[in-house]
Amino acid sequence: MFGQWKLGACLPTFASCADRYCLGGYGRGGATMEEMLAMARKVEGLDGLELVGNWHINDTNIAKVTGLFRDNGFAIPMIVPDLWTQAKWGRGSLAAADAATRRGAVAEVKKCMDWAAEAGCPFVDVWPGQDGFEYTFQADYSDAWKWLRDGVAECAAHSKKVKVLVEYKLREPRGHCFLNSAAKTILLLQGIPNTGCLLDVGHSLAAGESMAEAAALLADHGILDYVHLNDNTRSWDDDMIFASVHASEHLELIYWLLRSGYKGWLTLDIFPYREEKIPAAAESFAWVRVMIQRIQARGLDRITEIVRRGEGTDSVRLVRELLTGSAPAGKAGA
């Protein structure tokens, strides 16, 4: 917990992260759920961990897993249907050209919704990362968009106990993903009850968005339901330690989350390929904490005043004062 927010993490934070060359991963991650939970307990303030359907939670182990989480004092804020780690999704899931594949994807999401309901988890995260294309003339954009909408709608109607969040991303694993921006996500979900958006801020960065603007747009449309934190170099979803690259942009993001009244989870989606896992998570949260503290010390209203002025130098000075901890200059905007 930190203020109004709960702090979470995806499990790769504590696992041996693979890349396409080093399939065994570089690091010393936990091999079992028990090991990962033990590592997670050493991250101060952590409230919960996301699970991937089938991999981490399934019909066989659900009682055991929820017990483990309860015993360790962790919530399960999210279950993620696995629509992306198996060859069968390689040409799409909810928006696949093949109708049977689309049906299979919907079934997978529903299954996770059932587990979520049973585990007391409020959300599933539909990430259509395999729905996209690599080459020109390889996708029927009109069909795909309709299928994606239909699939999400069918899932959302399955149960009122669990909300269906969708997560956008510019690319990867597909060369281009259909659902690749905050605005497209808003369009996709219009008129579909029981849905919302999971904003992965690194996906927003890599898509060329302003993360803060994306958060504001989603909040203004009433669908900012969950946030993933990480950072990257803007050219790829590197899943780096929070704020390690774009500190001023993350600071602005935190301001907009506070201003919009967001009260949900701040969940790490980092892949510490070569780093020790526990310190990498702790360092991310250390950045979160100092940013929130600095913003609150200055005061939202005084910051908003500068934001509305639109004077670039004043904005840069504000960032410098907040980040470096310098006292603000004597007169307003000086």
Tell me which residues in 231-290 interact with a second copy (CB under 8 A).
233-236, 238, 240-241, 243-249, 251-252, 255-256, 271-276, 279-280, 283, 286-287, 290
Interface region with a second copy, contact rule CB under 8 A, candidates 3-11, 34-42, 61-69, 311-319:
311-319
Helices 99-119 and 62-72: crossing angle, nearest 10°? 50
Please report, as residue ranges, which positions from 81 to 140 form the binding site for a second copy (by CB under 8 A).
84-87, 89-92, 97, 129, 133-140
Between residues 18 and 117, which has the closer beta carbon with respect to a second copy? 18
CB of 282 to a second copy, least distance (A): 8
Please report, as residue ranges, which positions from 190 to 209 form the binding site for a second copy (by CB under 8 A).
207-208
Entry field: residues in the chain:
334
CB of 117 to a second copy, least distance (A): 26
Between residues 139 and 165, which has the closer beta carbon with respect to a second copy? 139
Among 145, 226, 265, 285, binds a second copy (CB under 8 A): 145
Please report, as residue ranges, which positions from 165 to 184 form the binding site for a second copy (by CB under 8 A).
170-173, 175-176, 178, 181, 183-184
Please give the biggest Cα pair distance in the chain. Answer: 66
CB of 159 to a second copy, least distance (A): 26
Please report, as residue ranges, which positions from 18 to 47 form the binding site for a second copy (by CB under 8 A).
18-27
Q: How far apart are CA 20 and CA 219, in angstroms?
A: 36
User: How many amino acids of this chain bind a second copy (CB under 8 A)?
Assistant: 104
| Helices and strands in the chain: count of H runs, count of E runs | 11, 11
What single-letter DSSP state applies at residue 14?
A: G
Site string for a second copy, 54-83 (x = CB under 8 A): ------------------------------
Q: Up-side HSE of residue 16: CA atoms within 13 Å toward CB?
A: 12
Provide Rg for the chain, Cα atoms: 20
Interface region with a second copy, contact rule CB under 8 A, candidates 3-11, 37-45, 149-157, 320-328:
320-328
Between residues 164 and 306, which has the closer beta carbon with respect to a second copy? 306
At residue 238's C-alpha, the angle toward residues 101 and 92, to 5°, is 10
CB of 71 to a second copy, least distance (A): 28
Between residues 69 and 256, which has the closer beta carbon with respect to a second copy? 256
Question: Are the CB atoms for 315 and 307 separated by under 8 Å?
Answer: yes
CB of 20 to a second copy, least distance (A): 5
Among 68, 72, 319, 328, binds a second copy (CB under 8 A): 319
Tokens of 178: 């259909």
User: Alpha carbon of 290 to those of 128, 159, 163, 327: distances in Å?
Assistant: 34, 39, 31, 15
Question: Are the CB atoms for 300 and 260 separated by under 8 Å?
Answer: no
Contacts of 197 (CB under 8 A, 6+ apart): 165, 166, 167, 168, 182, 185, 186, 189, 218, 223, 224, 225, 226
For 18, other C-beta atoms within 10 Å of its C-beta total 14
Between residues 21 and 32, which has the closer beta carbon with respect to a second copy? 21
